[in-house]
Amino acid sequence: MSLLQVKDLVVEFPHRHGTLRALDHISFDIAPGEILGVVGESGAGKSLTGAAIIGLLEPPGRIAGGEIVLEGQRIDKLPFDAMRHIRGRKIGAIFQDPLTSLNPLYTIGRQLTETIRAHLPVTEAEARRRAISLLQDTGIPAAEQRIDHFPHQFSGGMRQRVVIALALAAEPKLIVADEPTTALDVSIQAQIIQLLKKVCKERGAAVMLITHDMGVIAETCDRVAVLYAGRVAEIGPVHEVIHQPAHPYTAGLMAAIPDMTSDRERLNQIDGAMPRLNAIPTGCAYNPRCTQRFDRCLQERPELMPAGATRAACWLHEPATLETAR
């Protein structure tokens, strides 16, 4: 059974000259304890997808269609207070900048124990014991002393460890992590990702890991969803998506990563840029950049369809196309 189901999610921004559709029927699910990577170029819709799930879309952005279901319960239309309770208790969030998650005026111990006690029926002493244990698990040295320090007394990397502890404090089933290491020093990014993976696996928390870094996806995730212009271009087990990409865009992303190809001569970027929301081409949104496009791609928009070991929104995998190619 799925922990989280996102079904046909549509997010729109009303606008003076009409409506911008930023997410256009996004669907995927996450199993309990699974790590799903969400990858794509800047502007593809990764952060909006995460924000919609945790109920923190910023107005005027709004969910204009679809459903978000967590453990069988719809959470996309909940009142703010109900959603705030779900955030924390059932879904933990980690953002790019740890300072957005931490209150500079309170010790980290106070923030951890308040979160724990807001959601779990434990005494102050028990909450503090749990907070220390979380800080130890996330690799904060001398956690018994550090718990009484303020956020500014930690380095960027240590602060993000505290944020991971805070996201896990109320034992949520799902962590949504949006570019959790992008703001950190390159030398510690891999450590923090490994830590996130380890503590979530230990606690059985599923993770939706948003990143533009395919290398991180390869090392961390069980499955991956590739977003393009507000839609899922391809989704499948991480090994298959990386080694046998079915969508030409995924193949292009892979070719642009140095460590993914043995043949360095083939290294290249995908020509062109992702379209703006107000200028998405008809047919397949990727068609202007696609070296494999054919007539149908210019007219009809492909939905996700079975494509080898993954699912891809690409007409190349339509049974009729496969038949003609034979």
Ligand X SMILES: Nc1ncnc2c1ncn2[C@@H]1O[C@H](COP(=O)(O)OP(=O)(O)O)[C@@H](O)[C@H]1O
Residue from 6, 30, 36, 48 touching ligand X (CB under 6 A): that is 48
Mark residues 40-69: x for contact with Mg ion by CB under 5 A, - for none.
Answer: ------xx----------------------
Nearest alpha-carbon partner for 317 in 243, 244, 267, 256: 244
Q: How far is the CB of 11 from ligand X (least distance, A)?
A: 8
Kindly give the pairing relationship between strand 4-15 and strand 18-30: antiparallel
Stretch that binds ligand X, among 43-51, 72-80, 82-90, 137-145 (CB under 6 A): 43-51
181 contributes a contact to Mg ion by CB under 5 A: no
Beta-strand ranges (E) seen in the chain are 4-15, 18-30, 35-39, 62-70, 73-74, 91-94, 174-178, 206-210, 223-228, 231-237, 305-307, 310-312
Using the minimum distance from each CB to ligand X, give the nearer residue, 63 or 131: 63
Residue from 6, 35, 43, 217 touching ligand X (CB under 6 A): that is 43
Q: CA–CA separation, 175 vs 53, rounded Å?
A: 11
Using the minimum distance from each CB to ligand X, give the nearer residue, 13 or 315: 13
| Token couple for 141 | 């040295």
How far CA 127 is from CA of 17, 114, 130, 261, 301, in Å, comes to 52, 8, 5, 48, 52
277 contributes a contact to ligand X by CB under 6 A: yes
Answer whether 225's CB lies under 8 Å from 304's CB.
no
220 contributes a contact to Mg ion by CB under 5 A: no
Q: How far is CA 270 from the centre of its chain?
A: 23
Using the minimum distance from each CB to ligand SF4, give the nearer residue, 223 or 293: 293
90 contributes a contact to ligand X by CB under 6 A: no
Q: How far is the CB of 288 from ligand X (least distance, A)?
A: 16
In the complex, the residues that contact ligand SF4 under the rule CB under 6 A are: 247-248, 284, 286-287, 290, 292-293, 297, 302, 314-316
Stretch that binds ligand X, among 35-43, 115-123, 138-146, 294-302 (CB under 6 A): 35-43
Ranked by CB distance to ligand X, the top (closest) residue is: 47
Using the minimum distance from each CB to Mg ion, give the nearer residue, 46 or 146: 46
42 contributes a contact to ligand X by CB under 6 A: yes
310 contributes a contact to Mg ion by CB under 5 A: no
Say which amino acid occupies 58.
E
Phi/psi class of residue 182: alpha, beta or left (left: φ > 0; alpha: ψ in -120 to 50)? alpha
Angle, helices 156-168/186-203, rounded to nearest 10 degrees? 20
Q: What are phi and psi of 136, to 5 degrees?
A: -65, -45
State the residues that interact with Mg ion by CB under 5 A: 46-47
For binding to ligand X (CB under 6 A), which residues are involved? Answer: 13, 20, 22, 40, 42-48, 61, 277
